[in-house]
Amino acid sequence: MQLLTALAIGALFGIGLFQIMRQNILRSAMGLFLISNAINLFLLSTGAYDGLVTAYTTASGQRSDALPQALVLTAIVISMGGLAFVLSLLYIISVRYKTSDMDEIDSLRN
């Protein structure tokens, strides 16, 4: 199961990196979103261990660690805000320049 998780995270990261290197701005934003999701899955999988009971119960036994879950939840909220900001900038660029190709937008190079 750990090998399957590692392969899935690696594939998600690789696809996101490939999309960032494309010329289309919208695909670059999607690649950034995929990489942030891969990092969140990586942090969640490295912080997980086999506890006998869930993190927020009063039952006795070895509890699961709640810190990775809380950090990933915070990272998800922050990445959604960042994605909303990037998509709003992409909307402004596409309305102003009528394209989403980085090579056709000359004013961004100055």
76 within domain boundaries: yes
57 within domain boundaries: no
Give the pLDDT confidence score for residue 81 in this predicted structure: 93
56 within domain boundaries: no
Distance between CA 10 and CA 101 in Å, rounded? 27
What single-letter amino acid sits at 60?
S
96 within domain boundaries: yes
pLDDT confidence tier of residue 49, bands split at 50, 70 and 90: low
Residue 53's SS3 state is: strand
Look up the domain containing 99 and give its range: 2-50+63-109
What domain count does the chain have? 1
Distance between CA 89 and CA 28 in Å, rounded? 13
Answer yes or no: is pLDDT of 18 > 70: yes
14 within domain boundaries: yes
The distance of Cα 38 from the centroid of its chain, to the nearest Å, equals: 6
Who has greater pLDDT, 65 or 84?
84
105 within domain boundaries: yes
58 within domain boundaries: no
The CA–CA distances, whole Å, from 94 to 26, 27, 46 equal: 10, 13, 39
